Amino acid sequence: MTQARASTHLPAGHPAVPERKIGILLVNLGTPDGTDYWSMRRYLREFLSDPRVIELPKIQWYPILYGPVLLRRPKTSGENYKKIWNYELNESPLRTITRAQGEKLAEAFRDDPRVVVDWAMRYGNPSTESVAKRMVEQGVDRMLCVPLYPQYAASTTATANDALFMALMKMRVQPALRTLPPYYDEPTYIDALANSMTKFLGTLEFEPEVVIASYHGLPKRYFEAGDPYHCHCQKTSRLLREKLGWDEKKLLTCFQSRFGREEWLQPYTDKTVERLAKEGVKAIAIINPGFSADCIETLEEIAGEVGEIFLHNGGTNFAHIPCLNDSEEGMTVIETLVRRELMGWL
């Protein structure tokens, strides 16, 4: 319904009523605003004070967080971000790619004036709250939240939804809300991973003996508490193997990005890469199926640090397979899932 048509149903003198719109909000993890100490500190403080991320009592965790962690880690993390920073736009690759995903999804809906597409970060800027408020001000009264995490974890999908829920709690007039379920076993996602991998591996001058599917890790106790993340990752890898016609020796499942001293999900990516090199494996590739966009954990940790571990311990050829990002395959996944979840609204 156009605004002109909507206005014909209003009494004389009534203020204009914005056209009712449907909002699609893409949400990714987050990014610091810069690589300097204070930008990194603000980002890490917000991220690591989330009780979904660090499931410890504040009385136990906060002395550590506001002590050694926020004193030392901002400098170290800032140096790592500098290695992958998009200096042309003065932002992290995650922000660049997430913006591109939002713009391309908006282009896919360009013929429907009812649809508003935007993007936000769970931590850092643009914040989920600020973007949700802007969308409502544009007339959005139905909103689909799209956490860009294929596999569900309380520390990713749930906290992304939490941020939007908390933003809506402050609004007098809330939009109706839907959230995208995890899509770890969706055929469109598995097909996109397989096609993207096949195309990239075809550009290499070597054939990997082993490919590792490396997922972000979680403390083991989160899994024991009932988090389904580990199971989702294993199923993604199994379906990807089946799609490619590979066995478990060709495509391994590992977990990266440990933090702290407690045990996390295993096998660990860095330890596995070191072992493979020492056992005589000369060529490997790593893909990150749990990340919808390349970021510090894929570009610096995997393509950088883990690659160096492999080469240092006797490996010869190493490749990092890019995430789906805003590629044709990646956008097909997002658009397909979004259109399905909007059924009944569009």
pLDDT in tens, 47-99: 999 999 999 999 999 999 999 999 999 999 999 999 999 999 999 999 999 99
Pair 337, 297 in one domain:
no
Binding-site residues, in ranges, read 216, 297
pLDDT at 7 > cutoff 60: no
Give the pLDDT score at 2.
44
169 shares its domain with 228: no
Mean pLDDT of the chain: 95
Same domain, 286 and 227: yes
Range in 2-6, 27-31, 101-105, 157-161 with the lowest mean pLDDT: 2-6
What is the average per-residue pLDDT within 307-321? 98
| Residue % of the chain over a pLDDT of 70 | 97
The answer to whether residue 252 scores a pLDDT higher than 50 is: yes
Q: Where residue 8 falls among pLDDT bands split at 50, 70, 90?
A: low
Per-residue confidence (pLDDT) for residue 1, from 0 to 100: 42
Residue 170 lies in a domain: yes
Question: If you average pLDDT over residues 202-208, what whole number do you get?
Answer: 97
pLDDT surpasses 80 at 13: no
CA-wise closest residue to 228 among 155, 153, 156: 153
pLDDT for 18 equals 65
Residues 6+ apart with CB under 8 A from 331: 101, 104, 105, 108
Q: Is residue 284 part of a domain?
A: yes
Residues 167 and 225 grouped into a single domain: no
- Report the C-alpha gap between 6 and 260 in whole angstroms: 57
Kindly state whether residues 146 and 12 are assigned to the same domain. Answer: yes
Query: Is the same domain home to 133 and 194?
Result: no
Residue 115 lies in a domain: yes
- pLDDT of 4 > 50? The answer is no
Alpha-carbon distance of 231 to 266, in angstroms, equals: 13
Whether 290 maps to a domain, the answer reads yes
**Contact predicate 37/78, CB 8 Å:** yes
Residues whose CB falls within 8 Å of the CB of residue 5, separated by 6 or more in sequence, listed in order: none
What is the rounded average pLDDT of the residues 268-295? 98
**Mean pLDDT over residues 299-324, rounded?**
98
Asked whether residue 72 is domain-assigned, the answer is yes
**Domain at 110, CATH number:** 3.40.50.1400
Structural domain range at position 337: 3-183+330-341
- Decide if 305 is inside a domain: yes
Task: Report the binding-site residues for Fe(2+).
Answer: 216, 297
176 and 47 assigned to the same domain = yes
* 14 pLDDT tier (thresholds 50, 70, 90): confident
Evaluate whether residue 9 is within a structural domain. Answer: yes
In the chain, the number of structural domains is 2
Q: Do 225 and 126 fall within a single domain? A: no
Model confidence, pTM? 0.93
- Please tell me which residue, 13 or 301, carries the higher pLDDT value: 301
Q: What 3-state class would DSSP assign to 115?
A: strand
Nearest to 283 by CA among 250, 257, 305: 250
**Is residue 52 a contact partner of residue 159, using CB atoms and an 8 Å limit?**
yes
d(CA 342, CA 86): 34
Structure confidence at residue 3 as a pLDDT band (50, 70, 90): very low
Is there a single domain that holds both residue 130 and residue 252? no
- The verdict on 127 and 214 lying in the same domain is no
Whole-angstrom Cα distance, residue 162 to residue 98?
Answer: 19
* Predicted pLDDT of residue 318: 98
Q: Are residues 64 and 92 in the same domain?
A: yes
Q: Is residue 346 part of a domain?
A: no
265 and 308 fall within a common domain? yes
